[in-house]
């Protein structure tokens, strides 16, 4: 049975869901969501793993400090949670912003991550390199540059949280009725939640960019197996997802999820579950 718990990680109180027993599988949500987005997958995966789905720093029931939204710090939060549960090796699966945290975790601690799943993203460095109208990434991700602005997103989106988040849940989905939008609206109406989500994006410059460029210039690539999944109607479908990831990792496989937008785990949970089982479970 899935339990809701809190962990005190050197002053950061992190909320997480936990179920099952076995190797640790950590599921990391994106924006504008929380750990709730994994609700369809946790029970089935818990038959094989200790499944942990935290609310990332600034999200859901986790604390919302003013700083620490660079992906290195957010990955360190997740690592501290894993260590607090007695695990020094993990399997990671992340969606959207959570996939960026998972990517950073695997880069910073390569000997501790056995397999990595990234859902509906290409590497952050590639997003900025390909941010133009010819690929469609600029038109599809205008919110990245909007969220970088100080104070303004909070002022405007704070006037109508449901309307602002609802725009993305509508535009980014195929199976809209499968998302529990009210749950996420309540989460982002909590004090500090909007600001924290925008700080996640604001950390792109200079912090995340500096870390990503340093890795690239040093020739650092992921050596562990990587699975990339994306929705057929998701933004990554406009670019060669696997070819891009193969510049950043040595062992990459992946698949497009049919009849699906951005929110894979909620729009097409059965298809995602099948891919996760095939990738994560040992073969005889």
The answer to whether 15 is a known catalytic residue is no
Out of 55, 63, 70, 96, which one is annotated catalytic? 96
Q: CB of 34 within 8 A of CB of 183?
A: yes
Query: Does position 208 have pLDDT exceeding 70, yes or no?
Result: yes
Query: Does position 18 have pLDDT exceeding 90, yes or no?
Result: yes
Query: Does position 93 have pLDDT exceeding 80, yes or no?
Result: yes
Q: Tell me what pLDDT residue 267 has.
A: 98
Chain-wide mean pLDDT for the chain?
A: 96
Whether this model's pTM surpasses 0.95: yes
pLDDT tens digit sequence for 107-147: 999 999 999 999 999 999 999 988 776 777 888 899 999 99
Helix-then-strand count for the chain, H and E: 14, 8
How are beta strands 90-95 and 12-19 bridged, if at all?
Answer: unpaired
The answer to whether 96 is a known catalytic residue is yes
pLDDT tens digit sequence for 46-78: 999 999 999 999 999 999 999 999 999 999 999
pLDDT tens digit sequence for 150-183: 999 999 999 999 999 999 999 999 999 999 999 9
Q: Tell me what pLDDT residue 284 has.
A: 57
Q: Tell me what pLDDT residue 211 has.
A: 98
Out of 29, 103, 211, 262, which one is annotated catalytic? 262
When the candidates are 3.50.50.60, 3.40.50.1820, 3.40.50.720, 3.30.160.40, the CATH number that belongs to 3-280 is: 3.40.50.1820
Domain boundaries along the sequence of the chain: 3-280
pLDDT tens digit sequence for 224-275: 999 999 999 998 998 999 999 999 999 999 999 999 999 999 999 999 999 9
């Amino acid at each position: 049975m899935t339990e809701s718990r809190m962990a005190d990680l050197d002053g950061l109180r992190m909320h997480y869901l936990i179920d099952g027993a076995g190797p640790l599988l950590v599921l990391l949500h994106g924006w504008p969501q929380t750990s709730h987005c994994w609700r369809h997958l946790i029970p089935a995966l818990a038959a094989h793993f200790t499944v942990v789905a935290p609310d990332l720093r600034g999200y859901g029931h986790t604390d919302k400090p003013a700083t620490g939204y660079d992906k290195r710090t957010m990955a360190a939060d997740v690592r501290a949670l894993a260590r607090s549960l007695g695990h020094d090796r993990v399997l990671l699966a992340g969606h959207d912003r959570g996939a960026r945290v998972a990517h950073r975790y695997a880069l910073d601690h390569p000997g501790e991550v056995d397999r990595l799943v990234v859902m509906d993203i290409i590497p952050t460095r590639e997003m900025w390199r390909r941010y133009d109208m010819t690929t469609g990434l600029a038109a599809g991700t205008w919110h990245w540059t909007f969220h970088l602005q100080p104070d303004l997103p909070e002022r405007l989106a704070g006037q109508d949280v449901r309307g602002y988040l609802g725009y993305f849940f509508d535009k980014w989905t195929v199976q809209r009725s499968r998302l529990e939008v009210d749950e996420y609206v309540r989460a982002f109406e909590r004090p500090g939640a909007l600001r924290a989500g925008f700080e996640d994006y604001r950390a792109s410059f200079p912090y995340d960019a500096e870390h990503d460029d340093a890795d690239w210039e040093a020739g650092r690539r992921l050596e562990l197996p990587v699975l990339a999944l994306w929705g057929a109607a998701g933004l990554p479908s406009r670019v060669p997802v696997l070819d891009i990831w193969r510049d950043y990792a040595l062992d990459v496989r992946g698949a497009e999820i049919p009849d699906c937008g951005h929110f894979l785990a909620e729009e097409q949970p059965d298809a995602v579950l099948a891919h996760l089982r095939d990738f994560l479970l040992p073969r005889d």
